[in-house]
């Protein structure tokens, strides 16, 4: 790419950020569309967060992605936060709109778009979400808008119950929380249409672990695992082997990035190019199918 006096910058801030897939995904997209933009990664410690955000505004950066551990703390330095990000309590994308910093959360929408782009409709469906951490919360807020019934289960059941209670106030009685136990899974999976693993169970190096016993999976269940290392988790492999539709964590990563790209550029994201760039980077890092 040609860097000129008019090149604008987008960046990811977090700690650590060196292994982030966002720089390759976004730079591939900028190149594909011939946009005069460049995307870099900045390691920012908690102590430096405020200066980094104010600096981004002073330097006229176009956009930021925000990752661990700043997704919540960054909110206090923004001029506006969109209602979904506010409700979730986490921002992963910032737009610098002519000096006004606006925060968004594209994780939940990214997960829902990953399902739809893979032929899984959420309308009228029952979804079971495993986990009640940051990612689960973002997905649950978006899912609650779309599905007929939402059940959230977590190892620490109180966290799932609390999240469900918050969602019930907004979306009514279709949301329920509970424990991540074999008994509960057995019961809930009888009637679930979509299963989303938003726990870290099955993530590298524990690749032989799955949060769901394989005999509870069915061919008419759609399964999304948001873990992308490995690209195919044990849960996804088990689901595939019973003939279920599956969606990998790379798809969520891709679409949360695609939505951020669209917020910054107002152009439809070239998702195939972004996906190829992410897959190449993962392969370089030793993550394969």
Ligand X SMILES: NC(=O)c1ccc[n+]([C@@H]2O[C@H](COP(=O)([O-])OP(=O)(O)OC[C@H]3O[C@@H](n4cnc5c(N)ncnc54)[C@H](OP(=O)(O)O)[C@@H]3O)[C@@H](O)[C@H]2O)c1
Indicate which residues carry an active-site annotation. 71
- Among the listed residues 29, 227, 258, 259, the single contact to ligand X using CB under 6 A: 227
Q: What are φ and ψ of residue 11, in 5° steps?
A: -155, 160
Among 17, 112, 226, 260, binds ligand X (CB under 6 A): 226
Give the contact letters, 158-197, x = binds to ligand X (CB under 6 A), - = no: -x--------------------x-----------------
- Name beta bridge partners: 94: 64, 103
Q: How many angstroms separate the CA atoms of 8 and 37, rounded?
A: 5
Residues 29-48 that bind ligand X (CB under 6 A): none
Least distance (Å) between residue 181 CB and ligand X: 10
- Provide, rounded to whole angstroms, the least separation between the CB of residue 268 and ligand X: 20
CA distances from 12 to 26, 61, 130, 131 (A): 11, 11, 27, 25
C-beta closer to ligand X: residue 78 or 132: 132
Residue 72 near ligand X by CB under 6 A? no
Q: Which is nearer to ligand X, 35 or 196 (CB)?
A: 196
Spatial distance between the Cα atoms of 200 and 204, rounded to a whole number of angstroms? 9
Using rule CB under 6 A, residue 67 touches ligand X: no
Distance of closest approach, residue 195 Cβ to ligand X, in angstroms: 14
Question: What are the residues whose beta carbons fall under 8 Å from the beta carbon of 41, sequence distance 6 or more?
Answer: 11, 12, 17, 18, 20, 22, 23
- Measured in degrees and rounded to the nearest 5, phi and psi for residue 102 equal -115, 130
- If the CB atoms of residues 35 and 107 are measured against ligand X, the closer one turns out to be 107
Contact 65, 28 (CB under 8 A): no
Task: Report, in Å, the least distance between residue 206 CB and ligand X.
Answer: 8
Q: How far is the CB of 32 from ligand X (least distance, A)?
A: 21
| Residue selected from 48, 50, 133, 263 as contacting ligand X according to rule CB under 6 A | 133
Choose, by CB under 6 A, the member of 200, 218, 244, 263 that binds ligand X: 200
CB of 176 to ligand X, least distance (A): 16
Should residue 131 be labelled a site residue for ligand X when binding is judged by CB under 6 A? yes
3-class DSSP state of 197: strand
The single-letter DSSP state of residue 192 is -
C-alpha angle with apex 287: 282 to 289, nearest 5 degrees? 105
Count of CB atoms situated within 10 Å of the CB of 86: 14
d(CA 45, CA 198): 26
Member of 39, 77, 104, 228 binding ligand X (CB under 6 A): 228
Q: Which stretches of the chain bind ligand X, using CB under 6 A?
A: 107, 131-136, 154-156, 159, 180, 198-201, 203, 226-228, 249, 252-253, 256
């Amino acid at each position: 790419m040609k860097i000129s006096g008019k090149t604008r910058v987008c960046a990811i801030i977090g700690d650590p950020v060196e292994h982030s897939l966002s720089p390759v995904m976004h730079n591939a997209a900028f190149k594909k569309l011939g946009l005069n933009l460049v995307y870099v990664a900045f390691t920012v410690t908690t102590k430096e967060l405020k200066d980094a955000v104010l600096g981004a505004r002073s330097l006229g950066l176009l956009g930021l992605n925000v990752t661990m551990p700043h997704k919540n703390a960054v909110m206090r330095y923004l001029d506006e936060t969109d209602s979904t990000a506010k409700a979730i309590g986490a921002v992963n994308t910032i737009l610098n709109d002519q000096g006004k910093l606006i925060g968004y959360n594209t994780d939940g929408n990214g997960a829902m778009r990953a399902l739809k782009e893979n032929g899984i409709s959420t309308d009228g469906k029952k979804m079971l979400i495993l986990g009640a951490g940051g990612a689960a919360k973002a997905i649950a807020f978006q899912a609650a808008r779309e599905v007929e019934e939402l059940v959230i289960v977590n190892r620490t059941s109180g966290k799932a119950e609390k999240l469900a209670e918050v969602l019930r106030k907004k979306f009514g009685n279709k949301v329920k929380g509970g424990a991540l136990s074999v008994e509960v899974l057995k019961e809930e999976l009888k009637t679930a249409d979509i299963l989303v693993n938003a726990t870290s169970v099955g993530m590298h190096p524990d690749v032989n672990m799955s949060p769901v016993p394989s005999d509870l999976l069915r061919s008419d269940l759609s399964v999304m695992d948001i873990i992308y290392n490995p690209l195919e988790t044990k849960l996804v492999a088990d689901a595939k082997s019973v003939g279920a539709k599956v969606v990998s964590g790379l798809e969520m990563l891709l679409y949360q990035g695609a939505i951020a790209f669209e917020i910054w550029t107002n152009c439809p994201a070239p998702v195939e190019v972004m996906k190829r760039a992410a897959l190449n980077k993962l392969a370089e890092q030793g993550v394969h199918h």
